[in-house]
Each structure stands twice: as structure tokens, then as C-alpha cells.
Amino acid sequence: MTVVVKLGGSVITEKDQPETVADDRLAGLAGALADGDIDDLVVVHGAGSFGHPRAAAHDVSATDGVQDAAAIRDIAGTMEALNTAVVGALADAGVAAVPVHPASVAHRTADGALEFPTGAIETLLDDGFVPVLHGDIISHAGAGATILSGDEIVTHLARAVDADRVGLCSTVPGVLDDDGTVIPSITAFSDAAGALGGSDATDVTGGMAGKVRALLALGSPAYVFGPAGIEAFVAGDDVGTRING
Ligand code: IP8
């Protein structure tokens, strides 16, 4: 069983406190991942109160690049610090976690396409390690460097490692309908269009609609769930919202 799971940045950091890890929540998630019986596990984490404020301060996004080396070091440095905390929490829980920094291996071509060789990640998995990646700032031909979100890494890696299951651990317990209740299953965008804004138009905010669309395009089932759902996800149960196109 090969599993790719993303720990949302808002879950593992205190979103209102700059560069503050949510130690207890992170330890709880790390413990659940350690207790799971997953042969091949890849962990990806988001930026939360580490990368996002710095990216905003330097006016850089997934499409708007930055040419200033100091800005790139600033954003990459804060994400390395968060990754060190996540790898440390996983290691403390007994997971064979090792850091993989996307900035060192991935780039975007001039048309924005992601090039992300995954040989190192597949080799780590084959040898029993748990690669831990994160949203990052990566070189972008002609634009300096742009942001690579953890969500984009998840969908890219899920295909590369042929994941059996994908999980997004978010602050919400699933994709919510208009009443705030969790939609248990989404097999087409229309299943959730009302709650996600009603149209299948391109999502520029990177919000839930964009996540759902990207996860529907995967071959493997994906789950969106809150921190309380991690044990069930790791156990292979249906949890939160199941997205399978
Ligand atoms: O939190 C963003 O990753 P995300 C990465 O997964 C940076 O969207 C550096 C802001």
C-alpha cells in the first residue's frame, strides 16, 4: 500500500502567530502516522504561518516570480525550518522520516509546467524511508522563482509513485456543503459545485474547488479530512470526503 498524505499548513502551525509550530497537533498527527501500518508513506506539508506571510511580503505566488536571491533564501529558509520541525516530530514518534526539499530538485519551465524528478523519493521509499516534502519556492524559467504548493506536490507525487490512497489533512473535517455538513463522496465536480462556488471555472484562489478538481483527475481515491480523522485514514477506512473521479 502506497500512501501520500499532506498535513495542511494551517493544521501544523498556529496561523495567527508568525512561524509558530502547533506542537501538540503535529505530535498527534505524527503519532498516528507512526502507529499506522503503511508500507510506503510519503508526507507532504504546507506552509502555514511560515511560508505564506513571507511569500506575501515578497509578492511571489505560483505565477508571479521573484528575482531577488535574498527573497528566495528567506522563503526557502523558513520552509526548511518548518520541515525540520515536522521531520523531528515524525522521528520522535518513531517514523523513519527524511527531509526532501523540492527547491533542490524541481523547477518550472517558461510555460509554467512543473518538472519534478522523483527518483530520489522512489529510492527512499524502496529502502523503507518516509520522505517528507513541503510547499516551497522553486526556480522558474524566465521568472526567477515561484511558489510550489504542497497540493501540487501531492498530485504530482501520487501519480509518480502510483499511490493507492491520497489524504489531505485540513482544518475542516471534509468538503462541506452549504449547510456545513461533510459531503461523504464526490465522483464529479457537479457533486459539490453548489458548495464550491457553482461553476467549474478555473480556480484562481487555490481553494477547495481547485483541490477537488485536481484530486478528481487522479486515478487513486483521495480523502479530505480534519485532524480527528487521521487514525481512520491511516487504517484505510473511508473518512471525511472521498474524492474519486
Ligand atoms: O501551504 C505554500 O504551500 P501550501 C508554500 O501547500 C509556500 O500552499 C512557500 C508559501
Q: List beta partners, residue 224.
A: 168, 241
pLDDT averaged over consecutive 10-residue blocks of the chain (245 residues)?
96 95 98 95 97 96 96 98 98 98 97 97 98 98 97 96 97 91 94 71 60 91 98 97 94
Q: Which residue has the cell 485540513?
A: 170
Q: Return the SS3 of 239.
A: coil
What is the per-residue pLDDT for 70? 98
Q: How far is the CA of 36 from the centre of ligand 1 (A)?
A: 26
Q: What region does 237 belong to: left with phi over 0, alpha with psi -120 to 50, or beta?
A: beta
Q: How far is the CA of 8 from the centre of ligand 1 (A)?
A: 9
Q: Which residues contact 90 (CB under 8 A, 6 or more apart)?
A: 30, 33, 34, 43, 97, 130, 132
Atom of ligand 1 nearest to the CA of 137: 9
Q: Is 240 annotated as a binding residue?
A: no
Cβ proximity of 171 and 11 under 8 Å: yes
Q: Are strands 241-243 and 222-225 parallel, antiparallel or unpaired?
A: antiparallel
Q: Is 58 annotated as a binding residue?
A: no
Cβ proximity of 228 and 161 under 8 Å: no
CATH 3.40.50.970 fits 2-243, yes or no: no
Q: Is 128 annotated as a binding residue?
A: no
